[in-house]
Chain A
Amino acid sequence: MSEQEKIIDIGDGAAIPDPRDKGLFSAWRIALIGTISLLVILPLAKPDPYAKILRFVPDGIWVTFEVTIASISLALIIGLLTGLGRISKNRYINLAASLYVEVVRGIPLLVQLFYIYFALGRIVRVPDIVAAVIAMSFCYGAYMGEVFRAGIKSIDFGQTEASLSLGFNRRQTMAYVILPQAWRTILPPVGNEFIALLKDTSLVSILAVADILRRGREYASESFNYFETYTMIALIYLLITLVLSKLISNMEHRLSHYERR
């Protein structure tokens, strides 16, 4: 394990599969095959209620994706600014960024969701899904900020000095030299945060956002097929995160091209 990888600790997202693991019986492969099999076999074997559930829930998948993509995009921007703020030499910027991280990290996501949803509701009337995205990105921006900070810090200071000595200013140094290299270190934890965020979007179902879980709950409360519904919902989440974690690990492998001899 290189020095860079040690600095960033893997969060609570899905396990990133090892791209070098070519074994037929890798954990990832078993989980994927199992998930797909169940998603196919159950509706075939018992169309009522499994096939019905499968027809009812997909609307929610798109909502889940929408919330996830919008939140991660905003969280990346907030995270980059926060990370830069946390390493800033300006003490006020530094303090503001640190304060944000401290506050957000100390409050459970569910509480933040309620808080932002209702606090925002008193000021402006925004669609539920927008409030959900704001709350998710506000929270994940802080986590992302720590990832960016660690990633930037992991780049050898000699890179900065070389860049400055050529005549680049600090901002150009960050843009052309540090961030492109830090991205490589940042990607695995960002991928983890992405998957963790996707799973955490299930929390927005309490805010009347019709995501996968919400759709499932709606179906279950009408049909009373709680066990079957939550089985399918769990399988759908699992399929999505398994595929995403594979994509991310492949991307990570591609990005490391300049480290291969």
Chain B
Amino acid sequence: MNAADPIIRINRINKYFGQFKALDNVSLDVELGEKVVVLGPSGSGKSTLLRAINRLETISSGSIVVDGHDLYAPGENINTIRMELGMVFQSFNLFKHKTVLENLTLAPIKLKKMDKGKVEELAFSLLDKVGIRDRADHYPVQLSGGQQQRVAIARALAMEPKIMLFDEPTSALDPEMIGEVLDVMVTLAREGMTMVVVTHEMGFAREVADQVVFMDDGAIVEMARPDMFFDNPRHSRTKLFLEQIL
């Protein structure tokens, strides 16, 4: 792979759920270190697009290349590719039977065969970063939603991925907890992480995004830098969406 190549190259992908076209000829490049925020009304295909990047959704046609690996090429191991792709879910999905610390250390110990002491060191530094070190020995059920989501971010980071995918990370949170999760994401962005974020948080998009992608009916309608996107949307559907949401 060439240094100038995008780290994610999505090329004309289509996805059908039965007759329903969830993704309609979508192409998108994400450069290393770039932050792409995907916006759109519900049912527009933005989550499907995000989940296609680590093949939690399989696509019907087209190609996705992540860090030089074609997700659908025979001989490519999807599990190895997924180790480069951290993912944060709307509903946190922390492992309920593991403590906070164990949630972070499970995958690095089992998959990277890393030494337990080293992993725990890494885990504690990540828990520091998301401000939740004092809860290391708690179980997920004992944490608030915001805390759980911060742990989920730390869990994904513990695999030291090159890219982070966020699937509406604040949509299941009470309003007063949204800030603490967004703060962590902003910090991560400042540190140079490559991020693809599906969200409804316009403030976050404006502050962090290098590119804002607007989707509707499974297709990318508009793609622009945030200042252009929010102040001078070109497409009528984008304008309508922004009027409704702002």
Could you tell me which A residues sit within 8 Å of B by CB distance?
A: 156, 158-159, 161-169, 172, 176-177, 180-181, 184, 257-261
Contact = CB atoms under 8 A, between A and B. Distances in A.
Contact of A159 (B87, B93, B110, B141): B93
A260 B138 CA distance: 11
A162 B94 contact: yes
A182 B93 CA distance: 15
Interface string B134-167: 0000011110000000001001100100000000
The residue among B54, B95, B106 with the most chain A CB atoms within 10 A of its own CB is B95
Interface string B79-98: 11011011101010111111
A169 B110 CA distance: 11
Given A158-B91, A176-B110, A169 B79 contact: yes
Contacts of A184: 97
Interface in B52-87: 54, 56, 79-80, 82-83, 85-87
A180 B97 contact: yes
A159 B95 contact: yes
Interface of B: 54, 56, 79-80, 82-83, 85-87, 89, 91, 93-98, 106-107, 110-111, 139-142, 152, 155-156, 159
Query: 10 closest A-B pairs (Cβ-Cβ)?
Result: A167-B83, A162-B93, A158-B93, A165-B87, A166-B107, A258-B139, A167-B82, A167-B79, A181-B97, A180-B97
A159 B96 contact: yes
A165 B94 CA distance: 12
The residue among B85, B87, B97, B107 with the most chain A CB atoms within 10 A of its own CB is B97
Contacts of B83: 166-167
A257 B85 CA distance: 32
26 contacts: A158-B93, A159-B96, A161-B89, A162-B87, A162-B89, A163-B95, A164-B79, A165-B82, A165-B89, A166-B82, A166-B155, A166-B156, A166-B159, A167-B83, A167-B107, A167-B111, A168-B107, A168-B111, A177-B95, A181-B96, A257-B139, A258-B97, A258-B140, A259-B96, A260-B141, A261-B142
The interface residues of chain A, by DSSP majority, are classed as helix
B67 to A, nearest CB: 13
Contacts of B94: 162
Given A161-B56, A161-B89, A166 B97 contact: no
A20 B115 CA distance: 41
A165 B85 contact: yes
Given A159-B96, A165-B86, 16 more contacts: A158-B89, A159-B93, A161-B56, A161-B89, A162-B93, A162-B95, A162-B152, A164-B56, A165-B54, A165-B56, A165-B82, A166-B155, A167-B107, A168-B111, A181-B95, A259-B96
A261 B79 CA distance: 34
Given A165-B56, A167-B82, A167-B159, A258 B93 contact: no
Contacts, number: 71
A164 B89 CA distance: 12
A164 B95 CA distance: 12
A161 B83 CA distance: 13
Contact of B106 (A176, A181, A257): A176
Nearest to A167: B83
Nearest to A183: B97
Nearest to A255: B97
Contacts of A163: 95
Contacts of B141: 258-261
Nearest to B165: A165
A172 B56 CA distance: 16
A159 B139 CA distance: 15
A260 B79 CA distance: 33
A165 to B, nearest CB: 4
Contacts of B111: 166-168, 172
B106 to A, nearest CB: 6
Nearest to A161: B56
A141 B152 CA distance: 38
A162 B54 CA distance: 11
Contacts of A156: 93
The residue among A162, A168, A181, A259 with the most chain B CB atoms within 10 A of its own CB is A162
Nearest to A175: B110
Contacts of A168: 79, 107, 110-111
Contacts of B155: 166
